[in-house]
Chain A
Amino acid sequence: MDFQLSAEDAAFQEEVRTWLADRREQIEHTRAVDWEQGGEAFERHREWERALFEAGLAAIAWPKEYGGRGASLMQQSLFTEEYVKAKAPDRINRLGLGLLGPTLMVYGSDEQKSEHLPRILRCDEIWCQGFSEPNAGSDLASLRTRAEIDGDDFVVNGQKIWTSLGRFGDWIFTLCRTDPAAPKHKGISFILVDMHAPGVEVRPLVQIDGSARFAEVFFTDVRVPRSNLVGNLNEGWKVAMTTLGFERGTGLGSPAAFNRMFSELVDLTRREQRDTDPDVRRRVAQAYIETRMFQLNNQRTLSKLAKGAQVGSEASLNKLYWSEMETRMLETALDSLGPRAEIAEGAEAEHGGAVFGDYLYARASQIYAGTNEIQKNIIAQRVLGLPREA
């Protein structure tokens, strides 16, 4: 047991830290606008992604042959930590870099890899994920968007929902039903769709916090070349499970982000002069305990992975933990503000009601990437070995 970084990892950490520190101005310039507003605001974020690309930091996890650095999980974790600490901007192409890219490396054809991977890396293509549908949430395999073969094309009809970055997407990786007669998991294919093709319509979806980070995507007789099929026909479920493994693994829920949220909570209780209230102090201490344990859990998992252990369903424990911890921390912040928490504007408002907004947004994390109830099913059945529900 040793919490010291190796010389190599420490050097990597220093490199990232220095690179980010040298770009403080660009970071602030980028963060000054919300990419969600589109236009110039979005392009600023794309410029930031290009800066990362030019420094070889766009996708450190990718193997060198695909333009990454082949960074170890430890280094990926260090990168995220430094990135969060530097308050660097949202990664607008995280779905391409984090989900589709790695999926193509496993299941993509040579043509798919050479066409898309360099463009993802340079942020020339913004990718969206097209899995969920209005009637296929937790029960994803019941999806109904269909792709029918017509000559050399698929013809796609249907609707996807909860599409992050939908309004800015160039491409979407979808799950479509290609064999309606087969059992529901067996008739699905993983298909790449050009969002600029005729018949694709994107409608912003406004959320309870007022932002529109998601969209609905409609497909009406969209023609997609058959060469855009990833993996085998009707075997898309297997491909999707690989993709979801990447989603629940790294990327989401970095300890550094929650450590920062904790510091902000402490600052808020001080500002509000609630730091002498024993109940507030107890809850803040509990928040400290939870952020510490989350970080330690991560470090334990990383150490196991570094030794070659397979960590699969444990990712569900991770997601369950941070999503509940995040909500609890923000509830403590809101309770510390008391009635002031609801005020959205003016002198009475705390950062324009930002804490309430953050809290509302955080509520999504117990739903997306597999609801916490689904995560508990996975833990019970795959980690504890309990029988499936009859």
Chain B
Amino acid sequence: MDFDFSEEQYLLRDTVRDLLGKDCTPAHVRAMWNDERGRSPERWRKLGEMGVLGLMVPEQYGGSGLDEVDMVLALEESGRAVLPEPLVESAALAAPLLARAGGDDLKQRWLPRAASGEAVLTVGLESQPYVGDATADLVLLERDGEIHAVTQDRVTLQPLKSIDGARRVFKVTAETGDDTLIGTSQQHGQWLFDHAAAATAAQLVGIAGALLDQTVEYVKVREQFGRKVGSFQAVQHRLAEMLLLVESARSAVYYAAYALAHELPDASIAASVAKAAANDAERFANHNALQLHGGIGFTWEHDLHLWLKRGKALEWQYGDADHHRKRIADWIYTEAAAR
């Protein structure tokens, strides 16, 4: 048994962290707020060159043919850096879904470009009212129990302004037909929802980790009453609790990636455990990061709210914590949860 990542997997994480540390600083994220597209094609291409966008694309379509375990650390890093671009939707959901469900023509047309970063893909789940990055070149839309692959000429978008200036969310209507149908919810709906929850949980853990780290650094330098505020026990205990929640959620997220990659019988429940845990950890980190920063963290000028807002927004994506707890309870009381 080895519940750890390989050296190659850690290396990929470090490479992504380095790239985002240079190209996705808070200043870069802020620059997206007033940018019409809100996205950096250059940064996206670099992620493509690095192999992150095609990680879960089969090799025959120009990807690396790797799995959720290889992907999860990159997703966590994207949360840590509050990356504006739709890494979850394009690389962790739409590309592997297309690889599963799409016909060869469709895959030939889109997967190599999705892997290289020339194209952006996204997904719209039936259970979700809005679609993130619906301006993508290809939208995989779940409607009326069917999954359709629709291009921009077939969609009507209503942009919605998010409190998080870097998010781009839309209401979408589409002209779907037999020519856009790639599968049914019955075939792929659970796969899609589980993966969406688990991938978002990975980003939430990245956000919560970033909030923890920034707050620890801040209380080490901020002084009141002639001493570092980080020396006060009330402050220390909150941060200790934060670390415990974040590390535990991390365990849940990593296991969900493994369970999904190996299609284990408990994969759906593992995804729900991950999302509920990541939500709770992020919520606690969100609350306490601002509280421990005090007034400065409440200002527009301070960067903290980049993480606070993204974190809150992701709490509601693909099932909030209570939704997932309900799902887990249904499983406990109906299926054989006998252990």
**Which A residues lie at the B interface, using CB under 8 A?**
1-6, 9, 74, 259, 262-263, 266, 270, 275, 278, 281-282, 284-286, 288-289, 292-294, 296-297, 299-300, 302-304, 306-307, 317, 320-321, 373, 375-377, 379-381, 383-390
Which of the segments B57-65, B144-152, B157-165, B231-239 contacts the partner chain? B231-239
Q: With the chains together, A288 CA to B326 CA distance in Å?
A: 12
Q: With the chains together, A289 CA to B239 CA distance in Å?
A: 21
Q: With the chains together, A251 CA to B305 CA distance in Å?
A: 43
A379 CB contacts on chain B under 8 angstroms: 240, 243-244
Q: With the chains together, A344 CA to B240 CA distance in Å?
A: 38
Contact indicator A300/B231 (Cβ below 8 Å) = no
Q: Which of B193-237 contact A (CB under 8 A)?
A: 216, 219-220, 227-228, 230-233, 235-237
B3 CB contacts on chain A under 8 angstroms: 1, 3, 296, 299-300, 302-303
Contact indicator A386/B333 (Cβ below 8 Å) = no
Q: Which of A294, A304, A376, A390 makes the CB contact (< 8 A) with B4?
A: A304
Q: With the chains together, A284 CA to B276 CA distance in Å?
A: 13
B243 CB contacts on chain A under 8 angstroms: 317, 379, 383-384
18 A-B contacts (beta carbon < 8 Å):
A1-B3, A1-B254, A6-B1, A9-B1, A266-B332, A281-B329, A281-B332, A281-B333, A285-B326, A289-B325, A293-B251, A300-B3, A306-B2, A321-B248, A380-B237, A386-B230, A386-B235, A389-B231
Report B276-311 CB contacts with A as 1/0, cut-off 8 Å.
110000000000000000000000000000000000
Q: With the chains together, A2 CA to B273 CA distance in Å?
A: 19
**Does B337 have its Cβ within 8 Å of any Cβ on chain A?**
yes
**Which B residues lie at the A interface, using CB under 8 A?**
1-6, 69, 216, 219-220, 227-228, 230-233, 235-237, 239-241, 243-244, 247-249, 251-252, 254-255, 258, 270, 273, 276-277, 322, 325-326, 328-329, 332-333, 337-339
Q: Which of A5, A266, A317, A380 makes the CB contact (< 8 A) with B337?
A: A266
Q: Which of B216, B228, B328, B337 makes the CB contact (< 8 A) with A289?
A: B328
Contact indicator A259/B236 (Cβ below 8 Å) = no
Closest B residue, CB atoms, query A320: B244
Q: With the chains together, A278 CA to B325 CA distance in Å?
A: 10
Q: Shortest distance in angstroms between B23's beta carbon and chain A's nearest beta carbon? A: 28
Contact indicator A284/B329 (Cβ below 8 Å) = yes
- Main secondary structure, interface of A, reads helix
A282 CB contacts on chain B under 8 angstroms: 322, 325-326, 329
Q: Shortest distance in angstroms between A336's beta carbon and chain B's nearest beta carbon? A: 13
B244 CB contacts on chain A under 8 angstroms: 317, 320-321, 379
B230 CB contacts on chain A under 8 angstroms: 380, 386-387
Contact indicator A300/B251 (Cβ below 8 Å) = yes
Q: With the chains together, A284 CA to B251 CA distance in Å?
A: 20
Closest 7 CB pairs of A and B: A380-B236, A296-B251, A281-B329, A379-B240, A376-B240, A285-B325, A285-B328
A3 CB contacts on chain B under 8 angstroms: 1, 3, 258
Q: With A289-B328, A304-B4, A389-B232 given, is the CB distance from A296 to B237 under 8 Å? A: no
Q: Which of A281, A284, A303, A384 makes the CB contact (< 8 A) with B240?
A: A384
Contact indicator B220/A288 (Cβ below 8 Å) = no
B258 CB contacts on chain A under 8 angstroms: 1, 3
B276 CB contacts on chain A under 8 angstroms: 285-286, 289
Contact indicator A289/B252 (Cβ below 8 Å) = yes
Pick the most buried of B2, B252, B258: most chain A CB atoms within 10 A of its CB: B2
